[in-house]
Chains A and B, each alone.
Chain A
């Protein structure tokens, strides 16, 4: 690898930071304001994209601002791992920006200026995380990301949103403290925190007790944002945020920054070899394996679509952590490749949930019977992405999961292989009902759903306020887990309750909309179809899509083995 001094890494960070100012300044002119967002997203993608060929050719772009604290330089380095994350985030930001416009305007949301400004600031921090050259710089942007995303979580200003915001701050700043503590320990042990492919050499010769303690602190700290159990509970609550936020930040940027942190620690701070020697990889893998199974089981019982997706995210993130913690080159490839794969698929799913919410104000799966008639394109995209989640071939999830399975088997950890397979089956079990109910059921003719409807199933569904008391401006963004007044099923039940003699009424069925895009605006359909197409492309031709090449490069530079 050769270092090339370049201003491109810092420019990629700053472009959306400058956009924040422009967005705030043009708060009276929404069209101008949104054009700043789009312009910044395009520029950012261009800047990051322009570094990809160089990085694939073995170059590293560096912006160095000199010492920040003794022994630590405030420098940004666009290496392969950084570019992987930055490219993903900036590409999907562009897509999400269009979707945001459709979504926020569709719902006529309040405080849109704050929303777009915070979104741009979040992306600045995300790119900063991607390009951070050492743990301190990473920590700087990691904390800034927390600050920048807080307004998005608490966006609604309802009691529920504020509570979610508080929980979010407490969890993520708590994680930040653990990261800082781990960083201090690493710095104290080695006198540096700079990322070195294969690990900081001096760390191998230090007291293993401190080495393990620092690893535990770092893994736990990043594990908060990566939603490892038992530190995951902020994520389902944060679904109260507008759906583009849930989509880009809570399925891609924020949670992946946690995963990315774990990847940096495993690959570039400790190195896979030392992680294995210290014996800390296995406990981390065990936590991840537990999380991915447990979260899948919990997801089975969520009737609210966004909550189900949130637990699916918790589960899928642990795939990545598991891949990193198993430490074999193949599993590393699988874990890292799952970062973009999951991003495309989960973004599709969230976009679909958001589109359904905007168009029909339906949030609960039990109310979605027959919704495939109303939103055919959206639900088809949903179906494709959920197939990918389950690891069906030809969609992105299959490729990464294949590498993960091979990796765990070759490492001899058959238990983890089993966990992955079980989770795959559970994935089908919690996604298929959504597709099934959308296309093959109708409001007046549905099958019983014992898993969701039985007594225990209400455990996560009753503790929130009902929608009835809120005015239009307190939109719950598809989150509020109540079961009243949302869709034909509720109306049907209410009506049947009042006038028994009338029975089912045909007018309850969804009106039919064609496949030509009449179901929603193209501001939302476009991003949905793009993300869905992306997940298919990643699944069919993973080698031509640039992500797998970057991942191979990362793994070969760390382990010396080309996969």
Chain B
């Protein structure tokens, strides 16, 4: 049996060490090595991913200790999706990072560490192992957020660290309760043992509650989202693009894994309260996230709150818990990663070209940055769910799933989320195209506004490179093109979803 699943996790860690060591010899060697490693990672992820879409998941036992005692890696369609998504997005963001920075070797070492953590979370079949990768991901993400210059990044990272660690601790506590109840940590084994203990046992219920709330923090579901806007807005543009696309996404994947692979739908059926809490969390997150987004004046904060709202859709799909909705969740996870990552990078591109970081500064952008404004516009409309983009397809599946489950209130919220999303993006689109450009501000004013917002980017002042343009345009094109491919993907995912729901 091939060692590919393990290699996929180990390789980025190895590359990360290489980057760090190379930095000792020569500075600024981080990017080429990281790029090479990412290309290899994409290749491996594609090979493994293609195997994951079989009828049975790929299982790999680490170090020859058989499950349930050893650590097992499991790759099914969903984890394969995540692995490929992580590899592709991190490669794409690297294309952007080359000019946009940060450029230090430690940054790229951390970058690859984050990739390793995310990949590990995606392939692991063991809850404690998942916690370990969750922490690796978290620590790498804190460090990346802090890699910006200036106090704002540091403060954002500190806040992220405190709240994130709180979430991870809850997750660990939940694992503890589950272990006390069953004496096992392997997901497959856990699901059988938990059923034997009984789904209404207080231990099991508490374990579920802690695990879910812990992940809610990591996903940034309202009201546990407080770290997220600060972190996304305070991080360098490259990092905002990367973590907004991947970190919450993989955490949401972990939630699906925990709810369906470990606790199973029968648990949800036995505990309607748990399901209701999920639904309420979803609905509140969608509505309040959008309302908060509308009230933002800074682009990156607006996009961050938009994520709070969009992940509400995913939680909603989990709460609905049928095949259609889960397919929708998988599609929307991928779609959101592309769209939101693309939006952050576009915002970064706009900021580094024109210095525009607030909603008002976007006025007249369509005139002097047509490609940037166009990409932003396409991505925003995709996020709204204008067909035939990927944003529409995900929403269609989730809404249909909610209707099939006859969860009417949730279905109403999901459908009206289109209008809520429109509310904050229409403001931007209108400003970009139908207002006169703001009077050309003198350099003094620009400097002032930069100080006022105090965002640190290594690359500000450098003109955008081909890599930056290419990444941004590619994201916009993918957001549209993937909409056409979503159906085939849904077909491929069918065995996996069936597996999850039984």
Contacts and interface: CB of A to CB of B under 8 A. Distances in A.
A144 B434 contact: no
A350 interface: no
Interface in A179-204: 180-181, 184-185, 187-188
A181 B414 CA distance: 10
Interface in B378-425: 381, 384, 386-388, 392-393, 396-397, 399-400, 403-404, 411-412, 415-416, 418-419, 422
B482 to A, nearest CB: 13
Contacts of A74: 388
A28 to B, nearest CB: 13
Contacts of B397: 69
Interface stretch (A167-175, A308-316, A554-562): A167-175
Contact of A188 (B403, B436, B484): B403
B368 interface: no
Contacts of B209: none
A74 B435 CA distance: 37
A55 B342 CA distance: 45
A114 B366 CA distance: 11
A144 B386 contact: yes
Consensus secondary structure, chain A interface: helix
Given A151-B433, A162-B430, A188-B404, A181 B386 contact: no
Interface in A427-467: none
Contacts of A169: 422, 426
A376 interface: no
A170 B424 CA distance: 12
A140 B416 contact: no
Interface string A372-413: 000000000000000000000000000000000000000000
B490 interface: yes
A238 to B, nearest CB: 14
A173 B386 CA distance: 9
Nearest to B494: A70
B487 interface: yes
Nearest to B431: A162
Contact of A147 (B381, B415, B418): B381
A144 B426 contact: no
Contacts of A66: 487
Residue among A66, A69, A169 having the largest count of chain B Cβ atoms under 10 Å: A69
Contact of A166 (B381, B386, B426, B486): B426
A143 interface: yes
B387 A170 contact: no
B487 A69 contact: yes
Given A69-B487, A184-B400, A187-B400, A161 B434 contact: yes
Interface string A135-149: 010011001100100
Contacts of B487: 66-70
A177 interface: yes
Given A69-B393, A166-B430, A170-B419, A184 B399 contact: yes
Contacts of A177: 415-416, 418-419
Contacts of B486: 69
A143 B387 contact: yes
A481 interface: no
A383 B260 CA distance: 70
A185 B388 CA distance: 20
Contacts of A165: 430, 434
Contacts of B381: 147
A176 interface: yes
Interface string A60-94: 00000011111000100000000000000000000
B435 to A, nearest CB: 6
Given A70-B487, A173-B419, A174-B419, A147 B403 contact: no
A228 interface: no
A243 to B, nearest CB: 19
Residue among A154, A162, A188 having the largest count of chain B Cβ atoms under 10 Å: A188
A70 B403 contact: no
A473 to B, nearest CB: 10
A157 interface: yes
Contacts of B484: 68
B415 A173 contact: no
Interface string A511-552: 000000000000000000000000000000000000000000
A69 B387 contact: no
B427 to A, nearest CB: 9
A-B interface, 7 closest residue pairs, ranked by CB to CB distance from nearest: A140-B387, A157-B434, A154-B434, A188-B403, A181-B415, A67-B487, A143-B386
15 contacts: A69-B393, A69-B396, A69-B397, A69-B487, A140-B387, A140-B388, A157-B436, A162-B430, A170-B422, A173-B418, A177-B419, A181-B399, A184-B399, A184-B403, A185-B403
Interface of A: 66-70, 74, 114, 136, 139-140, 143-144, 147, 151, 154, 157, 161-162, 165-166, 169-170, 173-174, 176-177, 180-181, 184-185, 187-188
Given A139-B387, A140-B387, A154-B434, 9 more contacts: A69-B397, A74-B388, A114-B433, A151-B433, A162-B430, A170-B419, A173-B384, A181-B399, A184-B399
